[in-house]
Amino acid sequence: MTEPRTIKIFDTTLRDGEQAPGASLDVEQKVELAHRLARLGVDTIEPGFPISSPGDFRAVQRISREVEGVEICGFARAVKDDIDAAVRATQDAQRRRLHMFLSSSNIHLDFQLKKTRAEVVRLAREMVSYAKGFVDEVEFSPMDATRTGDEFLFEVLEAVIEEGATILNIPDTVGFALPEEYGDMFTRVMRGVRGSERVEFSAHCHNDLGMAVANSLAAVKAGVTHVEVTVNGIGERAGNCSLEELAMALATRGEKFGVQTNIRPEEIYATSQMVSRMMGSPIAFNKPIVGRNAFQHEAGIHQDGLLKNRSTYEIMDPERLGIPRSMIVLGKHSGRHALRHRVAEFGVELDERQLEELYAAFKERADKQKTVHDHELLQMAGSAVDRALEPYTLSEVQIVTGSGGHRVASCRIRDNEAETERIVTGGGEGPVEAAVNAIRSAVPEPVEFAGLELYSLSAGETANGEASVTVRLNGELHRGTAANRDIMLAAAEAYMAACNRAVRTARAARAPGDDAADSGGSPVGESEITIS
């Protein structure tokens, strides 16, 4: 057995990813995300384009100074001012690299650069030589390489190797290549370019035809040692190679490649959520690895198989990725087995009569709405066993809002164990914040608000909205969902459902005789909300 070689993950979420329309980040957000990326285990961070704005320069400079344990890469065109800015911005990094790009395809040379091939080669030589006067590690990217042609591509690459480039990145800038074409191109370059044995190779793929991950895997198979990625695959147009998809493809099928990465899978989900929230870019439900549906199943046949053995329909463990486990989604395709299992998770055992009564009520509701949420199921199950199953019931919500001023929410909440009811109030800058702060004041556990996603389930004046709320208690994440024609009411119900799940878990884990934890969860801010 040979030791697997390590593929170095080059993350460009903060540079290429931020170039996605509407994904702009401020300096503080970039620094926070850079720390998160270092925790995730990426090898190199490309924090921005220093020459592009004073803010980007400051972000790269601060990240270079503050983020330890990773290589920091300054990005530059083949222009002296760009190189100077990148060198200054990264000068305090523990380890640094300069990444320079210059177009190489005929279409770019003719219509964008307005330069001849000879001029491009001369410029590439001059700027790589200039950069080597400041930085040991110089990466060169012939932009639009997959539409360049071998003859000129080889000429450019040989020129920059002679001038001291240490890493050659051959990008599929417009997502044009097919996997076999992209892999074969690296094979030809490694065999045919003079001096290629002295440099390392990197892949950078865009997703215009949906093949960025496949192309990157083809490059890994061909022998590259670096792959450039973004979290959630965010980036210009259709985005870049997705970090989480590439990392988990290599982790799950590593034996086919003989490679490994330094990515920590348990940090993937939290990083994905942070990028989505900060960049205001919702994650598609069916997005591999981190999408909401990636580890959820509604079909009865699938649910039955999963309950017998998880590996029947799952090739990865979501909990290893830091994803709260909720693999069973209850809808009209679900069967009795899944229904009994979900109710049993809440500590409720049903006899056959009770199960049939619940199943009939469940099917009737499932035919009217896409998903039956846990709090709705527990209400129906409570009717079947003639007792309340949730710790708390949110029976009424009123929110006073407007175009200005402070929002106020009033909620009527029943403590089902104590059989008492109280009215609580809360305020905030937004209606969701006000409702959440009101509800949390009635929950005697330190439940922390972790995030909210809002979705439109249909169109028109009678459209329903769905809210998904995540809370944290004792270091564990708990999720609640709800749908309602009033989206603010859906958010309040989802938060109550998440709190109920957290409280049930905490009470089940607490040893007899332990005192309840002090109340005082973290308040919510509107910045934690994602709407799509």
Instruction: Give the model confidence (pLDDT) of 114-160 as tens digits.
Output: 999 999 999 999 999 999 999 999 999 999 999 999 999 999 999 99
- Assess contact for 483 and 494: CB atoms under 8 A: no
The predicted-structure confidence for 200-243, as pLDDT tens digits, reads as follows 999 999 999 999 999 999 999 999 999 999 999 999 999 999 99
pLDDT value of position 515: 46
Name the phi and psi angles at 44, rounded to 5: -135, 140
The pLDDT > 90 percentage for the chain reads 66
Give the list of residues 6+ apart from residue 402 with CB closer than 8 angstroms, or none: none
Longest dimension (CA), the chain: 84
Task: Look at residues 16, 444, 81 and name the one whose alpha carbon lies nearest to residue 242.
Answer: 16
Q: Is 92 a residue whose pLDDT tops 90?
A: yes
| Res. 307: pLDDT tops 80 | no
Rg (CA), the chain: 27
In order of their start, the domains of the chain are 5-279 (3.20.20.70), 300-385 (no CATH), 392-531 (3.30.160.270)
Measured distance CA(276)–CA(465) in Å, rounded: 20
pLDDT at 529: 46
Distance CA 130, CA 442 (A): 64
pLDDT at residue number 31: 98
Dihedral pair phi/psi, residue 96, rounded to 5°? -140, 160
Residue 319 has phi, psi (to 5 degrees) of: -65, -30
Give the CA angle between residues 144, 147, 153 to the nearest 5°. 80
Report how far apart, in Å, the C-alpha atoms of 44 and of each of 14, 227, 473 are: 12, 10, 33
- Structure confidence at residue 411 (pLDDT): 97
The first and second tokens of residue 224, run together, are 């590259």
pTM: 0.81
Residue 523, pLDDT above cutoff 60: no
Task: Reply yes or no on whether the pLDDT at 505 is more than 90.
Answer: no
CA within 13 Å, CB half, 47 = 39
Q: What is the pLDDT of residues 353-396, one digit of tens each?
A: 888 888 888 888 888 777 787 778 888 888 888 777 889 999 99
Please give the Cα distance from 476 to 484 (Å, whole number).
27
CA distance 37 to 16: 15
436: enclosing H helix or E strand? helix 431-440
